[in-house]
Amino acid sequence: MMNKFRISDVIKIVFWRLHWLKTRREITGSDSTMEDPRSADVAICAIAVGTDHLKMAHLMLKSLRLIGHFSGPVFIFTDEPDFFSESKNVKTIRIPSRLSIMGIKQFKTWITKCIPFKYVLYVDVDIVIGRDIKPWLDTAKDAADEHPLVLFWDHAATEKYYHSGVFLINRNVYKKISLKWRCQIWLKGYSRDQKTLKRSVRSGTDVQLMPKEDMNFLGQTNAGLDSVATFNHITGRARRLLDLEKLDKFLEHLDAAHLYTDKVLVKGQSFRFGVLHPQPS
């Protein structure tokens, strides 16, 4: 799959958008949308295209529900909506298949067009939630009322970029930035959406940075193997280290126990993933 945005991507997305405007039938999932009683004005958004990302989306959803204790709606842009047909309170937005990587990433800029919630938290599917998410949401929502994007620095990058894998928006404030970001993706030929995002915002006015302690990069110079954050990015190195199948089964055990945990098995060593706490009521 190519990284850079292509002319064929433009054609597919234009037809997708025209079909979307005409029918509004591309959202599928449970008949009703159940709000989280603790964060009723928030929805979660993700993008999952391809087998590997579908598997990671499965883990992200489990950690969001069982450790993040978010029960509200999740909207997923995907070319395989049937994969999520049994997922509770998950709605899928079908997107074209065989897009370039940047063609897929540009759906981050369509959030306000497709998701009818005041606040939307976008989360990459290779993010695992490690703490109750509500305290972070409460702080971030206040910031999103003033700034189009509430996010983190990408501390794992060699250059200074914003981390485009986790951000909260207020739909009414985000619209202008989303158009600028989309134009950068469509017109500039970049191979990474971090670069397009950096060129789309004015730091200090368009962006509110959240404390780096809330974002952990698992696998970066051993970071994350003995600590946990609200958001834990499973980098390529961490994917090689973590036994994702065991992590999946572990999260299933959490479902029965309704508890946070103290460890997750990792190949050859233990991995601290949280602390024992009863599930919030």
Q: Give pLDDT tens digits along the chain (281 positions).
A: 555 666 677 677 777 666 655 545 556 665 567 899 999 999 999 999 988 889 889 989 989 998 899 999 999 999 999 999 889 899 999 888 878 888 888 899 999 888 989 999 999 998 989 889 999 999 999 999 999 999 998 876 656 788 999 999 999 999 888 888 888 887 766 777 888 888 888 767 899 999 988 998 876 544 444 567 899 888 776 666 666 666 666 566 555 444 444 444 444 444 444 433 344 44
The pLDDT assigned to 143 comes to 94
User: Residue 5 gets which letter from DSSP?
Assistant: -
Q: Does any domain span residue 261? A: no
102 in Cβ contact with 3 (< 8 Å) = yes
Q: Which residues share a beta bridge with 264?
A: 271
Q: What are phi and psi of 218, to 5 degrees?
A: -65, 125
Given 3-state DSSP classes, what are the helix, strand and coil percentages for the chain, each rounded to the nearest 5?
40, 25, 40
239 three-class SS: helix
Task: Note down the domain range covering 182.
Answer: 7-235
What is the DSSP code string of 129-140?
A: E-S-SHHHHHHH
Q: Does any domain span residue 23? A: yes
Number of domains observed in the structure of the chain: 1
In 3D, which of 226, 219, 214 has the Cα closest to residue 271? 226
Q: Does any domain span residue 260? A: no
For residues 281 and 272, what is the distance between their CA atoms, to the nearest angstrom?
24
C-alpha distances out from residue 235 to 52, 64, 238, Å: 13, 18, 5
Phi/psi-derived region of residue 272, left when phi > 0, alpha when psi is between -120 and 50, beta in every other case: beta
CATH code, 94: 3.90.550.10
CA 3 to chain centre: 19
Q: Does any domain span residue 278? A: no
pTM of the model: 0.82
The pLDDT assigned to 41 comes to 94
Q: Does any domain span residue 16? A: yes
Cβ within 8 Å of residue 41, ≥6 positions away: 35, 117, 118, 119, 141
Q: Does any domain span residue 269? A: no
Q: Does any domain span residue 254? A: no
For residues 263 and 65, what is the distance between their CA atoms, to the nearest angstrom?
18
β-pair type (42-48, 74-78):
parallel
Q: Does any domain span residue 240? A: no
